[in-house]
Amino acid sequence: MKKSISAKIWIASLISGLLLSLPYILSDSGLIALVALIPLFAAEKIATENKIRHFWLCYYCAFLVWNIVATWWIYYATPGGAIAAITLNALQMALIFRVFRWLKKRFVTASGTLLQFLPYLGFATLWLAWEHCYSTWQISWPWLFLGNSFADTTTLIQWYEFTGSLGGSLWIILCNILIFNTIVKGLDRQKRAFPIGAFSVAMAAIFIPIAISITIYFRPLPKASESGSLAAKEVVILQPNIDPYYDKFGGINQSEQNHKLLTLADKAVTDSTALIVAPETFFNPSIEAGVLIEDMPYNNRTLAAFSEYAKAKSCDFLFGAVTHKYYGNYKPTRTARQMRSGIWYDLFNTAVYADMQGECSFYHKSKLVILAESVPYIGDKSFFNSLGIDLGGGIGNFGTQPYRTLFKMEDGTKFGTAICYESVFGEFYTEYIQAGANFMTIITNDGWWHNTSGHIQHLNYARIRAIETRRDIARCANTGISAFINQKGDIVSQTPWWEECFLKGHITPNSKITAFVKYGDIVGRTACYIIILIVLIAIFYRASGRRSASGKSL
């Protein structure tokens, strides 16, 4: 009998893991997330009622399956990093579920619907608090936040402009809890009546946000003015398609890469072009090309060539580069490296902007890929120092900057550039808009993951950022997929994967500020306060129960 129950628990747990992963690998499957946790809740209820031991293995494996199926492609860039990211991310999720079970034990004898529902409220708030805090830690992997399940079903999440993606996480958890509650009440043999109240609440939780979203979606897009900073801009995206493993960082020298890019630009740029966008780390330091030093930018051949091209075509040029900044015989930052001569310097993953007048500005990537670009909790004896990943263009710790730099076009239009991983962090991304960005660019190099769901997921997360901030996006990827994304999160046009090509389109600047940009992640911050209150209630309730039991024994 116990073996049969144990098998059912394992099956239900693994089904949850698979259901949670489907929105990340199948198009238009975000709604599956609204029921994905129900089998796991059912497994937990059965395990508790039958006192099944080691149930933690079941729910840990459920989250492990989700992480493996959705993000196995990390293996192509770093096998060790993939194992660490998948197992540790699943462990954090399992710990949240463990606290949920702890809360259920505290209130197992509670009377009243509110107290019995408190463990589920605790699960929801703890998960949201974790997502909120996790995106700010030195070790951070927010790829599988629940709200990202709707990244390619953006018609349903237009209200993210108010809540951010954590509003979607709340929606998913709430719907799962309410539907599970309806099922439990419907199967209660002591209550033969259909739970119409619970069913109505669950259906309202599903369909009201969808109705609101569709209503918002059909609002007209803001129109561009005929002149000035809000005039539409013709933008050319260049996708040179240089293999990051074999050509980008050594197989093809920098001069050849420059020629390849500018030849592609010649095919696309017209007299109407306002901005050319090239991918992340297009320029990489080498003996042949020298280095790009922030304090002396015009000594660099690549930057000089691109600046001259921009002046000749009367447009601006944005491209990614690995840049250097030298300090002298002292170490001013924790990320600085030392040359044999004793000189300290920093490396940066940089967006370089050369305007049509030949003036240059820089923005340094500040949300870095763990181990590839940043060693967390850095120190001479840090365990993580031995785990650095070589993805080309520099290893170990890159420098960062504490604020978002915008680039200003000739007519006063301002735009920001999120570099690769930065486009995954919703609240961080809003800092560009708070600084005054009228539209956004994203430059990236997603070729490390080959033709897997990884680069598609990364593209779709940009769609969420467009909704949260209501800013058009020109996304340039070295090997694809490059795209123009409008303020509704729609992909207006895109390039094929792994093909040398260009994409031409128009960007409509916007100056309006969404609630999410103005107030930030209210959902996550509120959850942090509520979970503290719930834990205090649980401790108080348990303590008062023990005092009552002690009084009875006397």
61-111 pLDDT, tens digit per residue, is 999 999 999 999 999 888 888 898 999 999 999 999 999 998 888 766 554
Predicted local distance difference test score (pLDDT) of residue 388: 43
* pLDDT (0 to 100) of residue 109: 53
pLDDT in tens, 422-475: 999 999 999 999 999 999 999 999 998 999 999 999 999 999 999 999 999 999
Nearest to 510 by CA among 436, 441, 459, 417: 436
Give, for 194, the enclosing helix (H) or strand (E): none
pLDDT of the residue at 189: 61
Q: State the pLDDT at residue 531.
A: 83
- Does 238 share its domain with 363? yes
Digit-coded pLDDT (tens) for 162-181:
999 999 999 999 999 999 99
Instruction: Give pLDDT, residue 163.
Output: 97
- pLDDT score of 384: 47
Residues 446 and 547 in one domain: no
Q: How many domains does the chain have?
A: 2
- Identify whether residues 175 and 317 lie together within a single domain: no
> What pLDDT was estimated at residue 297?
61
DSSP letter, residue 388: -
Q: What is the CATH number of the domain that holds 253?
A: 3.60.110.10
538 and 419 in a common domain:
no
Angle made by CA atoms 369, 466, 429, in degrees to the nearest 5: 40
In this structure, the answer to whether residues 121 and 214 fall within a common structural domain is yes
What confidence tier does 221 reach under pLDDT thresholds 50, 70, 90?
A: confident
Are residues 215 and 243 located together in one domain of the fold? no
pLDDT score of 112 more than 80 = no
Are 191 and 299 within one domain? no
Q: Check: CB of residue 173 under 8 Å from CB of residue 146.
A: yes
Range of the domain at 203: 2-219+522-553
pLDDT surpasses 50 at 349? yes
Q: Are 406 and 544 in the same domain?
A: no
**The total number of residues written for the chain in this structure:** 554
Tokens of 161: 């402009």
Question: Average pLDDT for residues 116-143, to the nearest whole number?
Answer: 90
- Whether the CA torsion 125, 127, 131, 133 is positive or negative: it is positive
**Predicted pLDDT of residue 553:** 46
Same domain, residue pair 162 and 192: yes
Residue 514 and residue 544 in one domain: no
Residues 147 and 253 placed together within one structural domain of the fold: no
Calpha distance 227→231 (Å, rounded): 5
On whether both 41 and 110 belong to a single domain, the answer is yes
Other Cβ atoms within 10 Å of 140 Cβ, number: 18
- Per-residue pLDDT, 303: 87
Across the chain, what does the average pLDDT equal?
88
What percent of the chain shows pLDDT beyond 70? 88
In this predicted structure, the answer to whether residue 549 has a pLDDT above a threshold of 60 is no
For the cut 80, the answer to whether the pLDDT of residue 115 exceeds it is no
Joined tokens for residue 275: 């901005």
